[in-house]
Amino acid sequence: MGQSYDYSIQSVRLRVLGDLFRGCVIPAGVIFLALRLAGIRLGFISGALVFPVAALTGSYLLSVYRDHVDAREANKLGAITVPRVKGNLPGNLDVLFRLLRNQERGYMMDAFSELYKECNSTTVNLRILWTDKYITMDSEHIKYIYNAGFSKFWRGHTQKEIVECFLGTGILNRDDDEWKTHRMIARPFFASDRVSHLDLFERHAQKAMSVMLNTDPGDSLDFEDLVARFTVDAASEFLFGENLNTLSYGKDGFNSFTNAFMAIQALIRKRSTVGDWWPLLELFKDKSEGHKRTIRSWVDPLVVRAVRIQKEMKEKGQSVNPDDCTFLEYLATTTQDVEVIRDQLLNILLAARDTTTALVSHVVYFFAEHPDVLKKAREEILEALGPEGTPTVENMRGLKYLRAVLNETLRLFSPLPGSLRGTRDQGVAFPRSDATHNSPPMYVPPRTPIATMPYLMQRNKALWGPDAEEFKPDRWFDPEVLKTVAANSSVFVPFASGPRSCIGQNYALNEATLFLVRLLQRFEEFTIDERKQLSPPWTKDPTIDMGLKHSRGGTSRKGIERIWPGFTIVIHIRGGLWMRFKKASE
C-alpha cells in the first residue's frame, strides 16, 4: 500500500503545492469566475483579498462538510466524533504556536496535557491548519491501536514523509510485507540467547567505569554523554562487529555524529507538530541534508566495506554463517544496496543507543534526587553480588528492587514518549475510553494520523492514583498496582505492545541492568552539578508558563524537576546530565 508512494523531498514539495493549489487557487478562481459572470469587476486590493478570503472560506466549508460526514459515519458505528480543540485563530494557528512554544521552552508535553483537560477527553482532534490530527493518551485506545485494531492502522504517508530523511526504508518506517521482512531479518539477532551473552556489555561498562574513576575528585562529567558513548560502542560492536571506541574520548568526531543524530530527530519532531504543511517551511532547502551527510559519513564506510567483503566471499564460493555473524554482515547477504542496509542499521541503532541512554540517565537522575532509593538498590546489589561479583542473567533477574527502579523510571520517562500511526482507507471506531472519562466509543476517519502518547498515559492519575507523578519504586511491590497492570497491560507500555512491540526490549534491559550494577558497585553517591546543569527556563523566571493554565492541573513534577526533559523521537535531558560521583568506600 505504501511502497509505490514517493517520499522524496521533491515529491513531498509537489504534494503540498498541489494541496495549496486546490485549497487556495481553485476556490479563488471559482470566485473570480462567478464575479465576472455577474458583471462585477474588482480593483487591485479587493482582487488580492480574494485569495485569502477564498482559502479561509473554502477551508471552513470543507471543515463543516467533513464534520457532517464524520458525524454520519460515527453514528453508523454507534460512536461519537472525537472532541476537537477550538482555538481563537483561523486554522487553530494559536494552538500550533502554543505547541511550538512549549516544545522550545516549556515542560515536556505540558501543552498536550492542557489540551486534553480543556477538551475533557483523553483523545482529541487538534485540527491544525484545517487538517485533522488526532492525539490520544487513552489506555484503551492505545491498546486497540497496538493490538486488537493493529491491522486497521499503519505508519502511513504522513509519518513516512516526515521521517524518510532519517529512517528511510527501515523497520521503524515501513508497513505490511516490507515491515514484516525487516522484522523477520532482525528478530534472530535480538533473541534471548544472543542478548543474554553479557560479555559485550561488560567490556564497555568496565571502560565507562574507568572513565568515571579517572575523573578528578570534585569535578563533574556529562553522564548522559558517557552513557551514549557506552551504548554506541556496544551497539556498534553488536551490529557492525566493530567497536567505534567513542569512550576513548579522542578526536573521533563523535560529537558531530551525536549532534547530527539529535538535530535530525528535532527537525522531525518540528515537522510532526506542524503537520501536513511542513514542506512549506522547506520549499527551497531540505533542512535535513547537512545532518544526513554527517550521519552517513559515519555509517556508509562500514556498509560499503561489508558489501565489498560479502561480494568477495561470494566470488570465492564462501558464505556467512547466520549463527555467527554480525547484523551488518547478514544484511549484506540479503542485498547489495548500500542505502537499504544503511536505513536498517540506523533504525536499529536509534533503538539500541538512544533508548538505553535515556533509561540509564534518568535512573541515575532519580538516584541523585532520592538517596534512600540509591541506598536500597546498592544494598540489594552488594548482598547479591558483593563489590566485585560478575553480573549474569541469573543473578540480575534476582535484583527485584533494581527492576522496580527501572520500571518506575520507564513509567515516568518512557524512552519513546509518543508514536505516530494513522488509519487506513476505512474509518475506525475505538472501544469505550478508559476510566479517566469513560467516554463512549469514538470514531476516527479514514487516512487520518493519530499520535499515541504513553508518556502522558503513564502519568495519568485516573489510572495510577493521586501519586502518579511521584517517583516511587515501591509501587511495583503493591498488589493493587500489579493487579491493575496485569488486568490492563496497556497502562504500562514503555516498549509498546502488540506486533510492533520493541524487539530489542531484552537487549535494552540487560544492557541497562548490567551497567547500573557495575555503577553501584563502584559508586555510592551521585549529585547534580548545579553550575553546569542546564536549568529549565521556568526555574529562572516563574512567569514563564507558555500560555498554559497550570492552575487547571499542569504537571505537578514541573515544580520539582531539576533537569529539563525533552524529546525528539526518543526522550533526553536537555544540556546533558552533569553529575558528580562519590566512589564507594573500601
Q: Which residues are annotated as a binding site?
A: 502
**In this structure, which amino acid lies at residue 221?**
L
Cell numbers for 265: 530527530
DSSP string, 55-124: HHHHHHHHHHHHHHHHHHHHHHTT-EEPPB---SSGGGHHHHHHHHHHHHHSSTTHHHHHHHHHHTSSEE
Q: Residues within the annotated binding site for heme?
A: 502
Q: List beta partners, residue 452.
A: 136, 419
Q: How far apart are CA 143 and CA 490, in angstroms?
A: 5
Q: Which of 491, 381, 377 has its CA nearest to residue 434? A: 491
Helix (H, G, I), strand (E, B) or coil at 321: coil
Do 98 and 547 touch, CB atoms closer than 8 A?
A: yes
- Spatial contact of 311 and 270, defined as CB atoms under 8 Å apart: no
Asked whether 564 and 575 are in contact (CB, 8 A), the reply is yes
Among 418, 417, 347, 426, which Cα is nearest to 153's?
426
DSSP string, 245-294: -GGG-SSS-HHHHHHHHHHHHHHHHHHHHH-TTGGGGGSS--TTHHHHHH
Give me the amino acid identity at 568. Answer: T
Integer-rounded Cα Rg, in Å, for the chain is: 26
42 sits in the region (left: phi over 0; alpha: psi -120 to 50; else beta) called: beta
Position of cell 532482525?
186
For residue 224, the cross-strand partners are none
Q: How far apart are CA 250 and CA 90, in angstroms?
A: 53
